[in-house]
Structure 1
Amino acid sequence: METGSSSNSGRGSGRPDTAATLRVRVEDSVFMVDRAMLVRGCDYFRALFRSGMRECRQEEVHLRGLRVRGFLIVLAVLRGDRPTLSDDQIVDAVECAAFLQVGALARHLADLINSDNCLLLCQAAAVYGLLELYLSAALFIRDMHEDLQEAAESLLWESRQYVQSLTPSSFVAVGTYSPSMEILQDSFRTLCYLDEGEKDWKHLTDLPTEASTSMAGLAVLSNKLYIVGGVRDVSKQVVESCFCYDAMANKWTTFNGPRQLRYNFTLVGHEGRLYAIGGEYEKTAMSSVEMYDVATGNWSFVHHAPRPVADAACAKAMSRIFVCFWKPKETTDIYEYVPGRDEWSLVTTLIRPHSYGHCMVAHRDNLYVMRNGPYADFLRCLMDCYNITTGQWTAMPGHYVNSKGALFTAVVRGDSAFTVNRMLTLEYAIGTGGWKPRREMKGFPRSGSVWTFFLRLPKTRAHPKQREALDSNGQDDANDPNPA
């Protein structure tokens, strides 16, 4: 991994020292590192250089107790790389992230959490005091409790208790609904959650009467459901008010809609912001994109999408936003939107026969793209997998029948993908050889299109077995530290 100039002799790289360059000694190696990069990315160096003490004027800093391998990872992440890490590298990286207070590395480690390394990351984060990483790993373990229960016994007692104190995510669904009078008690206005113990759907809450899920944008951010836009009826009059559901408080609030009225658009939540991508207005597709800052409550325009797009498939993998753009007839471009740089970049192109319908979900560093087809065979759902690390496409073996899978509503939790339609809720186990059916449960009790997502619900909504495990730890709902 080429991340910096080093010299085992301790004499540096041969380049002249400047005020912009700092020599950093780690073990027996010396690295010539851009001083500004360290100040931007490391709270440790920022505090050092702004302290006014003698050390801030030194040409060389000796980092004692850290390993070269961990510091190389720090430099790689500060330069924008997203390295994959072995178990040994993970421990060194956690140590460096904690000692040097590198927020970007801590976030990258959280993106790497999977069923193979979640226990190691949880334990290492606990030892070195990376609390946000500790929470992220513990939540992942809690969501995969059945699969990891035996392995989780290797955690320290305090970590096992912490994991058990957290609330697991629940599969939630809502049908397509347009505003109507409250006295009609429209059943399509109901949000339901899946009780996995009883394998059945139960009432969670009702949409506000003025909310619409018809051609709306729905996204979950920090365990809150946001509903933006939507239409009232066949005239496609846009609903201007937006709605937010706080799952833990079981409370609805409203907020202002985007500056540009839109429907049939894609809404995605990322790092405290919502992004409304494309959509239509007055039957015209748009390329404009707006960002809603939850902290300030303001909408603002960001860089336009590469071309007009409506109802685009979107997924987040490794905290990166990917969007599908169709090119008739058989080409799909996948673009990445990079919020930090406010730019779009073409990642890859898929050329496959397909008819209608399109869904994309992420698992680890894989994007799974589902489509109907080919052509008249609309009951057969085909799948391709794109790995964002290697840049390789793989056609997944077999096919998935829509009448028993509803893959166009798939959402991922841990190593499982949950799909639902009126007939059946089906959980798939995601593996390298394809998706394998794992559990069958009752279908969603509404007809038509369905929106699905995960929310962490209060203990009172949990399955009795889950409540028993949670209550044994004596933790209050109000103190439940689970920002999904």
Structure 2
Amino acid sequence: MQPPSEYVRVRVEDEIFNVEKQMLVENSEYFRALFESGMRECAQEEIQLQGLPARGFRVMLKVLGESQPILDREEILDAVECAAFLLVKPLTEHLIFTISSANCILMLQAAGIYGLFDLIHASAQFIRDVYANVREDLSFLSEDQLDYIESLSPSAYVAVTTHSPSAGHLDDFSRTICYLDEVENHWATLTSLPDKASTCLAGVTVLDNNIYIVGGVDGLSKQIVKPSFCYNTERNSWSEFPSLQHPRYNLTLTGHNGCLFAVGGMCRNTVLALVEKYQVASSTWSFSACLPRPGAGVACARTMGRIFVCLWLPLDTTDVYEYRSRRDEWVLVTTLKRQQSYGHCMVAHQDNLYVMRNGPADDFLRCMIDCFNLTRQQWTALPGQYVNSKGALFTAAIRGDTVFTVNRMLTLMYNIHEDKWKPAKERAGFPRSGSMHAFLLRLPKNRLPTRQQN
């Protein structure tokens, strides 16, 4: 049966919405079953939804129209009800993307009422990560909800430095991936890299709580490393997976919606605009839309279910592009013009992108940060200079409302408050030399010391 393409009027409470049937069929299991059932309602020009809030339906239509509204308390409650009743996966995903310290308790409660397990799980994970900050509000939760939250592991801050492939007969004790033990204030070993793996100019990311390593070079021969590697956190084991169709190094690797994206990079000293997509479920690589221009070591961040990259231009200009996976296209979001010397990274928190860059060439150890708000479409410069006595901060990850930044001598933690970063704690630096990859990972409780399990 060909899906309908005409419009239908949907009455919700006292409001009427004129909606394309095709959009409803593609995104709502409820409407798909309704329109493909052959029942009388299939031919009706108007459908009435009993007992659903119009406000929630309106939010659903905004999300299906590729808008990403920031929701208040009432909108969250109504949207959760619509997502559960109409079985709208994109709306559930949007709710997950917008979980914050301000609404995580509400999200968990509402998801529990309507049985949205994906939202229950995501809310509980977020609460586990910000447990101390929301402790006073936990009294609103049931005992079962509290038990479920406490059964989860918090995200650990994980780092690995530059390593080339190692001969199998050599014992290279530094070829380790480590996590920050925040209680004992030291970096503990999580796992050792496979002998053939390289983190030198490789792409490293986390997808579905597993570590992926793609590309890179052998530091001795400068040859591109073709094998790709995955670390399964639950099984504590490594495996190889298919190599890129176009091997390269100095690429950026990011994960989204069950797929890896290998962005840009270099091959034979040529900077590339190539982007390849790896579907984990089918173990296959395919080419996606190329970057608007070649880029190596591209800064990348994910937030609100979206992928963003920074591409440099001469004259101190950085363009921020978004990759829109549904249409397989790159769209220019904004442009930043600031005096800067070399290198930067980008992290994201809710609807804010933070671009971290060095200061002017005569004082490049300063770390300057600019913030772009996706909702307001505005740039602001964060006050102050984010720097320590040992050098600039260029490796960072965000857990809840806390930013972790690390170098060899020091790990600095900041609390994000009203788009500003406020220094919170200092922890041990990562005791390895070389460029670092840092990310968050949920370690199984049986891998953690007892003191860190609660």
User: Of 137, 141, 149, which residue of structure 2 is paired with 1:163?
Assistant: 149
Does the CA contact (< 8 Å) of 1:195 and 1:462 recur in 2? no
Q: Distance in 1 between matches of 2:382 and 2:29?
A: 44
Alignment partner for residue 342 of structure 1, among 314, 328, 331? 328
Match of 1:328 in 2: 314
1:238 aligns with 2:224: yes
Alignment of 1:458-473 (within 5 A): 458-467=444-453, 469=454
Q: 1:64 aligns with which of 50, 69, 78?
A: 50
Q: Which residue of 2 aligns with 1:432?
A: 418
Distance 1:366 1:289 in 2: 25
Q: 1:327, CA displacement in angstroms?
A: 0.6
Of residues 106, 114, 121 in structure 2, which corresponds to 1:135? 121
1:45 to 31, 49, 58: 31
| Contact map agreement 2:358 2:392 (CA 8 A) in 1 | no
Picking from 259, 274, 278, the partner of 1:292 is 278
Selected match of 1:121 from 107, 121, 128: 107
2:65 to 72, 79, 89: 79
- Residue by residue over 1:302-360, the C-alpha shift from the partner in whole angstroms, topping out at 9 and shown as x without a partner, is 11100010001000121110000001230000011111110001100000000112010
* TM-fit CA distance, 1:397: 0.3
Give 1:234 shift: 5.0
1:264 to 239, 250, 253: 250
| Aligned alpha-carbon RMSD (Å) | 1.4
Matching residue of 1:353: 339
Structure-2 residue corresponding to 1:6: none
Pairing 1:300-449 to 2, within 5 Å after superposition:
300-401=286-387, 403-404=389-390, 406-432=392-418, 434-449=420-435
Read off the aligned partner of 2:398 and give its amino acid letter.
Answer: V
1:58, distance to aligned residue in structure 2 (A): 2.2
The answer to whether the 8 A contact 1:381-1:402 is kept is: no
Question: 1:104 aligned to 90, 93, 96, which one?
Answer: 90
Corresponding residue of 1:274: 260
Preserved contact between residue 252 and residue 299 of structure 2 (Cα < 8 Å)? yes
Structure 1 residues 37 and 380, CA gap change in structure 2 (3 angstroms): same
- CA contact under 8 A between 2:228 and 2:243: conserved in structure 1? yes
The residue correspondences of 1:139-150 to structure 2 (distance < 5 A) are 139-150=125-136
Q: Is the 8 A contact 1:143 1:413 kept in 2?
A: yes
Is the contact made by 1:196 and 1:463 (CA closer than 8 Å) also made in structure 2? no
Structure 1 residue ranges, 4+ long, deviating more than 4 angstroms after superposition: 402-406
* Cα distance, 1:190–1:182 mapped onto 2, change above 3 Å: same
Query: How many Å apart are 1:235 and its aligned residue?
Result: 4.1
How far did residue 59 of structure 1 move?
2.2
Greater mean alpha carbon deviation, residues 249-258 or residues 421-430: 421-430
CA distance in 1, matches of 2:5, 2:252: 47
Q: Which letter maps to 2:435?
A: S
Matched-pair contact (CA < 8 Å) for 1:338–1:344: yes
2:171 aligns with one of 146, 168, 185: 185
SS where residue 408 of structure 1 aligns?
Answer: coil
Aligned-pair identity in percent equals 56
User: Does the 8 A contact of 1:77 with 1:105 survive in 2?
Assistant: yes
Maintained 8 Å contact 1:153/1:160 = no
In structure 2, the partner of 1:89 is 75
Taking a change above 3 Å as real, the CA distance of residues 405 and 377 of structure 1, as seen in their structure-2 partners, is closer
Q: Tell me how far apart the structure 2 counterparts of residues 328 and 234 of structure 1 sit (CA, whole Å).
A: 32
3-state SS of 1:349 partner: strand
Between the aligned partners of 2:310 and 2:163, the Cα distance in structure 1 is: 25
- Distance in 1 (alpha carbons) for counterparts of 2:91 and 2:410: 41
Q: Which one of 162, 179, 184 corresponds to residue 198 of structure 1? A: 184
How many angstroms apart in 1 are the aligned matches of 2:379 and 2:358? 18
CA distance in 2, matches of 1:407, 1:155: 38
CA contact (8 A) 2:365 2:392 kept: no
TM-score, reference length from structure 2:
0.97
Task: Tell me how far 1:403 sits from its aligned partner.
Answer: 4.3
Number of residue-to-residue matches in the alignment: 451
Amino acid at match of 2:109: Q
Contact 1:21–1:34 (CA under 8 A) maintained in structure 2 = yes
**Contact 2:393/2:407 (<8 A) preserved:** no
Structure 2: distance between partners of 1:433 and 1:238: 40
Aligned-pair CA distance for 1:53: 2.0
Q: What is the CA–CA distance in structure 2 between the aligned matches of 1:215 and 1:174, rounded to whole Å?
A: 12
Tell whether the 8 Å contact from 2:200 to 2:216 is kept in structure 1 after alignment.
yes
Q: Distance in 2 between matches of 1:405 and 1:456?
A: 29
> Is the partner of 1:184 in helix, strand or coil?
coil
C-alpha contact (below 8 Å) 1:177/1:189 kept by paired residues: yes
Residue 402 of structure 1: how far off its partner (Å): 5.0
Shift of 1:401: 1.4
Could you say what secondary structure the match of 2:315 adopts? coil
* Greater Cα shift, 256-265 or 400-409: 400-409
Report how far residue 207 of structure 1 moved.
Answer: 0.1
TM-score for both structures, normalised by structure 1: 0.91
Unmatched tracts of structure 1, length 5 or more? 1-17, 470-484
> How much does 1:405 deviate?
6.9
**Counterparts of 1:254 and 1:81, CA distance in 2:** 38
